[in-house]
Amino acid sequence: MSGIYPPKEFVKQANFRDPAIYSRAYENWVEFWENFATELEWYEPWEKFLDDSKAPYYRFFVGGKINACYNCVDRHSEMRNKSALIWEGENGESKSLTYYQLYREVNALARGLKELGIERGSRVALYMPNIPEAVVAMLACARIGAIHVFIFEGFSARSAEYRIRDSRAEYLITADGYYRRGKLINLKEKADKAIESYKGIKKVVVVERAGNEIEFDEKRDVLYSDVVERGKVDPEIVDSNHPLFIMYTSGSTAEPKGMVHSTGGYLVHVYATSKLVLDLKPDDIIWTTASLGWITGHSYGVYGPLSVGSTLLLYEGAPDYPEKCRTFEIIEKYGVTIFYTVPTLVRMISGCDPSLYDLSSVRLIGTVGEPIEPETWLWLYKDVGRERVPVVNTWWQTETGGHVISQLPALTPMKPASVGKALPGFEIAIIDDGGKPVKPFEIGHLVIKRPYPGMMLEINGDPRSYIQFYWSKFGKRIYFTADSAFMDEEGHVWVVGRSDDVLNISGHRISLIEIEHTVMGVKEVKEVSAVALPDRVKGSVIGLFVVSENPSEKTGMRIIEEIEQNIGKIAKPGLIVFLPELPKSSGKVIKGAIYDAVVNKKKSEHLSNPEVVESLTKLKASERGIVVL
Ligand code: PRX
C-alpha cells in the first residue's frame, strides 16, 4: 500500500494497532459498536442496538438509559488533582478546573437552572464565547435533560434570533462580552437584540466575562453568579434517544436547519472516534481550535474528550492575535498533546517557523472542515510534526455528529490531502447519479450506506427537509452527503467539495442561497449571484456578482453591512463585482460561467449574453474588494 506510514514511536503507544479492526467491525458491526458503548456507564442497558423499522429515522441503543454529563464529569470526578479544562483568554488570563471542580460547578449551575424552571426537554439557547462557563452550561443542561442550542458568538443578532425562534428556546445563557482581536465585543447587546421581538424567552442568564457595561432587565435577566447554587443535582436519567442538543447548520436553502442529536448514540460515536481517530487517552491535553458553537467544538472540544477523561484546552480568541504565531505559543505553554484544527488556521500560521517553539508534546495532529491541499498537509507533517506524529484528515459533518472517514493514526498510511478510508464501523461509497459506484479516481457523490450511532435524529421541526435533503436522491437507506469525492484503488478518499450551494469558509458552512437572499435585502440590488472562489488562505471566499442601479463602493459597503447584520462577519464577501448583467442561459443565471471566467479565464459558449463574461475574464483570480465593471 502506498502512502506515508504512521511513525513507529506513535504506533507503539496507540490505542488501536491491529489492522483486523476493519474486518472485525465489518463482519460484526453490532459488536463493534456495542463494545464501545459498554465502556460508557448506563443506568439501564439497551434492549436493541438499532431500530431501523422507521428508516430513515434510525434509532440506536433503544431502551438504554444514560446521562451524558454523568459520563463526561461524574465518573471522572474522583480525579481531584487532574484538570478537566484549561482555559486561556485572548488577553492572556488563564484558568483551570479539575474534574472535581468541574463536577461542583456543573452541579451548582444545574441546581440554579432548575430553580429558574428549566427541566427535562426544555430548550436552552447558549449564545456564548469560548469560556469555561460555556462548557459548564452545556454539561449542566445535559445533566438535567435540557436540550442546548449553541449559537456561535460571532453570529449576528438576527442569525441568533432565527436559531432561538426556530428551536423554540425558552431560556438563554449568554455573557456580557468577550475579546476578539483585542476588541471587547458586547455580546449581551447582541443577545438583547436577538430576543427583542421574540417573547418566548423566560430568563436570560448572563456570565460576567468581560465586566463591560450592559443593559440589565431586572425582570428577565439574572447574573450567572447569582444563579449558581452550592449543592448537587442527581443526573436526569434519560432515554438513549432523548435529544442532547440541536446544532444549526447551512443547507442549500435560505434558512439554516437545526440538526437534532441524540444522547446515547451520539456519545458512543464521539467517545469511540475520540479513541480511534484522535487516539485520546486520559493523560492527553487536546486543543480543538473550533468555537464551541460549531459541531467540532461540541464533539471533540467537549463531549468526546471529556467522556474519555482527557483534559480540554479552551482558547477564547483569535489564533494569530496579538502574535501571528500565538497558536504555537499556546501549544508550547500548555504542552498540548493532540492538536485538532482547520486547514484555514494552518494556512494563516504557515508563515511561522515551528522550529522556534518547543512542540515536542504534540503526538497527533488532526484537521477537519475543508479540503487540505498537499503543501499544507506536508507542512504540518514535516515542519510542525517533524515526521514523528501522524496527521489525520477527518471527514464528517454536523449531521453525522462525529468522524466518518479518516486515517486510523497507527494503521492507515497517510496520503497527503486524502481523508483516508471509511472508519471501522462505517460503510461509504462514491456513486454516480444513477447510484452505481464510480471507477477509481472518478468523481461522484459521497454517500454513507449504513447508519451509525451519532447520526442526527431529525431536522428540528422540518421532517420534509430531512427527507428531501438527505434521503430522497438515493432512497431512505443511503445517506446523501452533498459532497463530491473520488477514491483510489485502495479505498482512500479525496473530497473535492460540496455539490450543492454550500460553501466551506475557514471550515464553517455557509449557504450561498442564504447570502443571496440577504443581499437582495439591499434596495439598490437588482440581482445577485454568490459564487465560491478559491482562496490561498481560507480555502474559499464568497464572490458576489451584483447588478445594481447604483454600482458603487457605497452600495458595496451597504451589501457588506447587510451581510454582517443578518449573518455575521464570517460571511463577509471577499470580492464584490458590479456588472451590467449576470451571465444567463434560458433566463437562468449560470454560476459556472462566472466561475469559469474569473478563475479559469474561460468564456462559456452557451450563454444568451456571452459578452458579459468577457470583462469577468479580465479580473485577476486573486482580486479582492469592490470592483465596478
Ligand atoms: O464539505 C464537507 C466539509 O465540511 C462539510 C461539513 O461541514 P460542517 O457540517 O460545518 O462540519 C464541519 C466539521 C465537521 C462537509 O460536507 N468537510 C468536512 N471535513 C472535511 C471536509 N472537506 C474536506 N475534507 C475534510 N476533512
Q: What is the CATH number of domain 503-628?
A: 3.30.300.30
Strands (E), 390-427: 391-394, 405-406, 421-422
Choose among 394, 390, 371, 395: nearest CA to 380: 390
Pocket test for ligand 1, best of 504, 508, 511 (most atoms within 8 A of CB): 504
Q: Give me the pLDDT at residue 599, please.
A: 92
Q: Give me the pLDDT at residue 501, please.
A: 84
Q: What are the angstrom distances between the C-alpha of 45 and each of 34, 69, 311? A: 11, 17, 28
Q: What is the number of the ligand 1 atom nearest to the C-alpha of 290? A: 13
Q: Give me the pLDDT at residue 387, please.
A: 96
Side chain identity at 565, as an amino acid letter? Answer: Q
Ranges of CATH 3.30.300.30 domains, the chain: 503-628
Q: How far apart are CA 528 and CA 509, in angstroms?
A: 20
End-to-end CA distance of the chain: 52
Pocket test for ligand 1, best of 483, 487, 492 (most atoms within 8 A of CB): 483
Are residues 486 and 441 in contact, defined by beta-carbon separation less than 8 angstroms? yes
**Among 110-114, 513-517, 574-578, which is the least confidently predicted range?**
513-517
* Confidence label for 1 from pLDDT (cuts 50, 70 and 90): low
> Using one digit for the tens of pLDDT, what is the confidence trace for 43-85?
999 999 999 999 999 999 999 999 999 999 999 998 888 999 9
Choose among 252, 257, 274: nearest CA to 457: 257
Task: Reduce the DSSP state of residue 175 to 3 states and report it.
Answer: strand
Q: Which three cell numbers stand for residue 424?
A: 471501522
Q: What is the number of the ligand 1 atom nearest to the C-alpha of 371? A: 23
Residue 346 C-alpha to ligand 1 middle, in angstroms? 16
> Using one digit for the tens of pLDDT, what is the confidence trace for 440-491?
999 999 999 999 999 999 999 999 999 999 999 999 999 999 999 999 999 9
Q: How far apart are CA 74 and CA 281, in angstroms?
A: 17
Residue 91 C-alpha to ligand 1 middle, in angstroms? 30
Choose among 562, 495, 504, 489: nearest CA to 528: 562
Is residue 163 predicted with pLDDT exceeding 80?
Answer: yes
Q: What is the CATH number of domain 96-236?
A: 3.40.50.980
Q: Give the residue whose CA is nearest to atom 10 of ligand 1.
A: 509
Q: What is the number of the ligand 1 atom nearest to the C-alpha of 405? A: 26
> Using one digit for the tens of pLDDT, what is the confidence trace for 17-33?
999 999 999 999 999 99
Q: What are the angstrom distances between the C-alpha of 530 and each of 255, 502, 507, 590, 621? A: 16, 10, 18, 11, 15
Q: Using a 6 Å CB cutoff, which residues line ligand 1?
A: 249, 295-296, 368-371, 393-398, 419, 481, 483, 495, 498, 504, 509
The per-residue DSSP string of 87-148 comes to EE-TTS-EEEEEHHHHHHHHHHHHHHHHHHT--TT-EEEEEE-SSHHHHHHHHHHHHHTPEE
Q: What is the number of the ligand 1 atom nearest to the C-alpha of 406? A: 26
> Which whole number is the average pLDDT over 429-433?
96
Q: Give the residue whose CA is nearest to atom 7 of ligand 1.
A: 397
Q: How many helices (H) and strands (E) does the chain have?
A: 20, 35
pTM: 0.93
Ranges of CATH 3.40.50.980 domains, the chain: 96-236
40 Cβ contact partners less than 8 Å away, ≥ 6 residues apart: 66, 71, 267, 268, 271, 307
State percent of the chain over pLDDT 70.
100
> Which whole number is the average pLDDT over 619-627?
91
CA atoms within 13 A of residue 318's CA, in its CB half-sphere: 16
Residue 505 C-alpha to ligand 1 middle, in angstroms? 10
CA torsion through residues 317, 321, 324, 327, sign: negative
Choose among 430, 33, 533: nearest CA to 265: 33
